[in-house]
Amino acid sequence: MQEYDLMMMSLLIFLPSAFGLLLLLIPRKFEEPIKWFALFGAAFTLMLSLFLLIDYYSLLDSKLDPNGRPMQSPEGTLEWRAMEAHIAAAKDVPGPRLSRDWVARYKWIEHYDINYALGIDGISLPLIILTAVVIFLSIIASWKIQKNLKFYLSMILLLETGVLGTFLAIDFFLFYVFYEIMLIPMYFLIGLWGGARRKYAALKFFIYTQTGGVLILIAMIFCYSTDLQDFVDSNIVKAKKEDLKKTALDVENKKLSDTEALARVEVHTFDLAIISRAGQAAAVRLFGKEDFLSPWKPLADQRLEKERFHLLGPGVSLEEAKKRFHQPFFRPAYQYLLFALLFIGFAVKVPTVPLHSWLPDAHVEAPTPVSMILAGILLKLGGYGLLRLAYPICPFAAEQLSFWVGLIGVSGIVWGAFVAMGQSDFKKMLAYSSVSHMGYVVLGIAAWSGGLGAKYWAMSVNGAIFQMVAHGISSAGMFFVVGVICDRAHHRDLNRFGGIWGMMPLYGGLSAILFFASMGLPGLCGFVGEFCIMMGSWQFHPGFAIAAILITIITASYLLWTWQRVFMGTKKFEALYPDVSLREAIVLLCFVVLAIALGVYPNLMFSWSEPSAINLVESLSRLK
């Protein structure tokens, strides 16, 4: 019998694609049933994601620190739970496992130690909920799509499987598989249902993101090539030693002795928890704290030795581990190279300047629901990759290059805002606005501060996670705002609009709230994340914080100017546009309610994201 949490997480991942495949069996003439069937699939996925959220809350309540805070101790982190699951798997205990720690693994390609490994924490779960919500609303927004309807909806549901799998995977190989799967449906969604230059936009999107994926692939192969036996459970090393004794022979064609077999043992893995532990051990060594390394111990023992870094596998001596620290993975130049590969690979998806030029073209040509998915979900994969892979695996390089990463984030904030101000195309303006808003995420992650300043970095990282969710809500909602008016006017030229609010009052009122949320107005979701990032980055670099603060004036300026050109003044056209339909009002209202709820009560998300953010920061900041 498999683990309960493994089955639930797998169901969440593959339920959308199952509905997508069944969708292809419905005859094409039944358009309405096809739409409702796809909507039910997205709705069931959303309900399942909310069920996982409730179950995760019970996990939070079961792991409180001495002060009663949820999962503030190391045992609550995804890495800790993954390591415990790794050790349990190494012991190969027979019988059913009904654990609900929300970390699970199943042996997949055993010869290469590739596992179907999944896990949830406060960093991934908000993005999982966001994905389910945006996909659900995007399918409602797709109600007027008629061209190849079955294939279109199947691609959206397949895309959802790829995104959810990426957020849940804790095996590098599995992560990469899901990460690359998303390229296929998005390429078709832009290339087949886009505008006049859809083929160019789809090709540009594919080339940029595939190039970033190749860099991540190189980093993955580099990590796998490293012998990580010092960071795994001793049972795994013993099992490999016994396998060698059975199959390998020495130079005299005799069976290997225990010593000879042990000398030949190497452990190569895609397990992100193990690779992250090795990366942190490399940072400890390169920061000159090598003597503070010690083997993995029970939590009670670790609390007695807070100055130690319990990164080595159980029973591993520092002397033995030092013998393998000569590998490239533990050298400064290679850590820089590995971080650069991961950072650039994920920066393409964020996207950061100057790797952003694919985004405006993709947004302009993509149909409205696809733009909602692109802005609301896909851009968040870049920020998530930095938090889940780049920083935990390469903390030494991340700390050393933190100024330059922060500068890239600020450059995106400034560049995106000023270019957005000069746009007359409604969609292109929002695309550059997304570049600016996602720059805050990069800055928040980059704001490395150790010692007493670690609490500010934790605030900044927590703000970056919140900003990803807030931007996902406001940007997806804003692109739907564009879609509503484009369906009536059949153009996106801001200079040709005017007086819309007078004839579409409900549309104008709901749109206004989303505009203000995107501006970062207090009381709405856009303010909270940016405020936390500004607070945290001030400790890191006041100049960056000041630039980020001042750009909010530019952001408010171009968004208010857009609002005035579209909704205020007198009409510049003869047609009378009907107000939003019930379907359109439902989509807009959902985004508005979420924007207000997170703005008024941000603890709605902080209560389950903050512990993971704090633990991540504490585990990294103490290394130096």
**Whose structure tokens read 């294939």?**
151
300 within 8 A of 253, measured Cβ to Cβ: no
284 within 8 A of 292, measured Cβ to Cβ: yes
Side chain identity, residue 50: L
Residue 68 is encoded by which pair of tokens?
């009663």
**Whose structure tokens read 């960071």?**
231
pLDDT score, position 1? 41
pLDDT score, position 95? 41
Q: Which residues of the chain have pLDDT under 70?
A: 1-2, 61-77, 80, 83-100, 241-263, 297-307, 574
**Whose structure tokens read 């019930």?**
582
341 within 8 A of 216, measured Cβ to Cβ: yes
Residue range 219-241, pLDDT digits in tens? 999 999 998 888 887 777 777 76
Rounded Cα gap, residues 280 and 345, in angstroms = 21
Nearest to 79, CA basis, from 624, 620, 621: 620
Residue range 406-431, pLDDT digits in tens? 999 999 999 999 999 999 999 999 99
CA dihedral 620, 448, 374, 46 (to 10 degrees): 50
pLDDT score, position 90? 61
CB burial readout 260-284, b (16+ within 10 A) else e: bbbeebebebbbbbbbbbbbbbbbb
268 within 8 A of 226, measured Cβ to Cβ: yes
Strands 293-295 and 309-312: parallel
For residue 293, the cross-strand partners are 309
335 within 8 A of 396, measured Cβ to Cβ: yes
Strands 309-312 and 103-109: unpaired
Q: Which residues contact 389 (CB under 8 A, 6 or more apart)?
A: 172, 175, 272, 342, 346
pLDDT score, position 61? 66
pLDDT score, position 307? 67
Helix (H, G, I), strand (E, B) or coil at 269: coil
Count of residues making up the chain: 624
User: Greatest CA separation found in the chain?
Assistant: 94
For residue 117, the cross-strand partners are 105
pLDDT score, position 73? 53
**Whose structure tokens read 């009122």?**
509
What helix, strand, coil percent values describe the chain, rounded to 5?
70, 5, 25
pLDDT score, position 111? 82
Nearest to 228, CA basis, from 307, 308, 316, 291: 316
Rounded Cα gap, residues 467 and 529, in angstroms = 4
507 within 8 A of 489, measured Cβ to Cβ: no
Q: What is the pTM of this model?
A: 0.92
